[in-house]
Amino acid sequence: MPLLSIENLSISFRTNEGSFDAVKGVSFLLNEGESLAIVGESGSGKSVSMRAMMGLLDPRSISKMQGSARFQMGEESVDLLSDASSLQHIRGKEIGMIFQEPMTALNPVMRCGKQIMEVVETHLSLSKAEATAHVQQLLEEVQLPDIPRMLKSYPHELSGGQRQRIMIAMALAANPKLLIADEPTTALDVAVQATILKLIRRLQKERNMALIFISHDLGVVKEIADRTLVMFRGQQLEMGESGSLFKNPQHIYTKALIKCRPSAHKANELLPVMSDFFELDAEGNFIEKPLKEGASIEFLPKKNEVLIEVNDLDVTYNRLGLWGPTGEKNHVIKGLSLQVFKGETLGVLGESGSGKSTTGRAIMQLIRYSGEVRMNGEVLKPAKAKDRKILAKKIQLIYQDPYSSLNPKFRIGDSFLEVMECHDIGQNKTEREERGKSLLVKVGLNADAWEKYPHEFSGGQRQRIAIARALLVEPEFIVCDEAVSALDVSVQAQILNLLKSLQREMGLSYLFITHDLQVVRNISDRVLVLNKGKIAELRETEDLFANPTDAYTQSLLASYSSLD
């Protein structure tokens, strides 16, 4: 008897334009101790299916939900979709869930130990001493250091990897039979990701838990899942044993998903995108296209002209407690020196806390530091507002999450006009509007995006808007801080192609900060590896990947999950 049986699950939501079919007839079985991965692009219905099963969707937004999700409880089975009264008992006790972003899933004003204890007290009949011992055992199981400090800490006082371990401990607190992990490693650096995946696999085997692992990272999926289910726009396209499915995919969409990965292509190739493989007819059927060889992009010849020069950079932060500075110091960057050449992409790799983003912020003059930063030979020390305004035209930033960097109350056109008016670009509103719309077209959007709000676009489209906004002031240097890490494989390919093409056309230089090794390998001319604020290696990209000499770099590369 399977532990979970999903049959013909269909979900529709109410929208201003009518009913939207988010999930269309999904069916699968899951046995005890088995792991199933669900993969697909954003909007494919992966998370919606699992949240519906857990009763976590707003019923007011649902126009239709059909099918069944039967969960085996001893000799009886419960339909999770229709028996809402059982969910309170099942959710947390029989089925645990790990969410993508623990910082938003954890209560920011409650200590981590108290949050885990709350789960234990709700679902297990233990004395206070037994419950305390159980919580400590959970933290030992997820291999957290300094357990007394972890129990007393608030979420903001822990690193991303530590917060994710707290989430795993909470999900496992009541010894569930099924664990649902919704993108649990997407925002983590490669070394922490490898540790979390190893931890989940070990706990699953030790507890004989079933696992549903939702992800868009195919390398991770192949490593952790027995079987893989591929979804697209709410439809179930194919399902099979993970190794066989990735080695010999049957559906054109799965083939395209694998081929779009940056690691499958050389650095001088534009990555293929979904539209290269298929198109959809009016009924939504796939029409396969003949596959083409990867298109090359002609890069500008490398110049030896230095654009950015960093000399002996040091950055120290005051550690903050709940009531302000603790008096302790955190030395983030230690004597860093580097150069970025005109027309070059310098990739920056390293674990969380290694100083990647801090380096970018120091170059942009957004934080205090000791040492020296030069641009075109001139020392950057913009103490006055006028100097900062001039510098902002030369250096721009593309954030990881474009939705939080765009004002949700502003139309895209208003956000663009604000930038151009601030920097005195264009003679009048008409001229500025023409410039803004032309840049929207340049990044692959329609000019009518000018009148829309950020929520009306997909994640990839919002990132294109963020890139267009950064280009409004004609910068020479752009800091890309995890600019593609939250995007699906196919959308990621589109943005990387766009960045390469814009660099070729406009002579831009990039500082490309990421934790994704295959992305940095595809886009970077050279790679800087940071370890605890110091340079581990700084070399040509292919040379570094072919022959890493530093032990830290070697461990970083060895940690990476790949289909290759």
- Domain assignment present for residue 497? The answer is yes
**62 Cα distance to chain centroid:** 27
Q: Output 404-407 pairs: Cβ under 8 A, ≥24 positions apart.
A: 405/466, 406/454, 406/462, 406/465, 406/466, 407/454
- pLDDT at position 88, please? 79
* Count of structural domains within the chain: 2
Shared domain for 404 and 511, answered yes or no, is yes
- Domain assignment present for residue 228? The answer is yes
How far is 271 from 489, CA to CA, in rounded Å?
A: 10
- Domain assignment present for residue 319? The answer is no
Residue where a domain stops, chosen among 256, 285, 303: 256
Strands of the 526-531 sheet, one edge to the other: 395-398, 477-481, 509-513, 345-349, 526-531, 534-540
Which domain CATH number covers 422?
Answer: 3.40.50.300
How far is 397 from 361, CA to CA, in rounded Å?
A: 9
Shared domain for 231 and 346, answered yes or no, is no
Angle formed at CA 197 by CA 211 and CA 259, multiple of 5 degrees = 90
Shared domain for 252 and 401, answered yes or no, is no
- pLDDT at position 563, please? 47
Shared domain for 223 and 350, answered yes or no, is no
Shared domain for 244 and 356, answered yes or no, is no
Per the structure block, which two tokens stand in for 483? Answer: 């600019």
Shared domain for 252 and 347, answered yes or no, is no
- Domain assignment present for residue 289? The answer is no
- pLDDT at position 265, please? 61
Shared domain for 107 and 234, answered yes or no, is yes
Q: Give the residue among 230, 204, 214 at the shortest CA–CA distance from 180.
A: 214
**Residue 28 near residue 210, CB atoms below 8 Å:** no
For residue 269, give the DSSP letter: B
Per the structure block, which two tokens stand in for 281? Answer: 């007819």
* Ranges of the chain whose pLDDT falls below 70: 187, 263-268, 291-303, 319-327, 560-564
Shared domain for 350 and 252, answered yes or no, is no
Indicate the residue type of 337: S
Shared domain for 351 and 214, answered yes or no, is no
Shared domain for 223 and 351, answered yes or no, is no
Q: Where are the beta strands (DSSP E) in 74-222?
A: 76-79, 95-98, 178-182, 210-215
CB neighbour list of residue 121: distance below 8 Å, 6 or more residues apart: 131
Per the structure block, which two tokens stand in for 83? Answer: 């028996």
- pLDDT at position 85, please? 75
For residue 4, give the DSSP letter: E
Half-sphere exposure of 131 (CA within 13 A, CB side): 17
- Domain assignment present for residue 61? The answer is no
Residue where a domain stops, chosen among 211, 235, 256: 256
How far is 74 from 94, CA to CA, in rounded Å?
A: 11
- Domain assignment present for residue 301? The answer is no
Shared domain for 111 and 251, answered yes or no, is yes
Q: Which domain holds residue 159?
A: 34-51+87-256
Give the predicted TM-score (pTM) of the model. Answer: 0.81
* DSSP three-state, residue 294: coil
**Residue 252 near residue 285, CB atoms below 8 Å:** no
Indicate the residue type of 489: V
- Domain assignment present for residue 25? The answer is no
Shared domain for 186 and 40, answered yes or no, is yes
- pLDDT at position 304, please? 80
- Domain assignment present for residue 137? The answer is yes
Residue where a domain stops, chosen among 256, 285, 310: 256
- pLDDT at position 76, please? 86
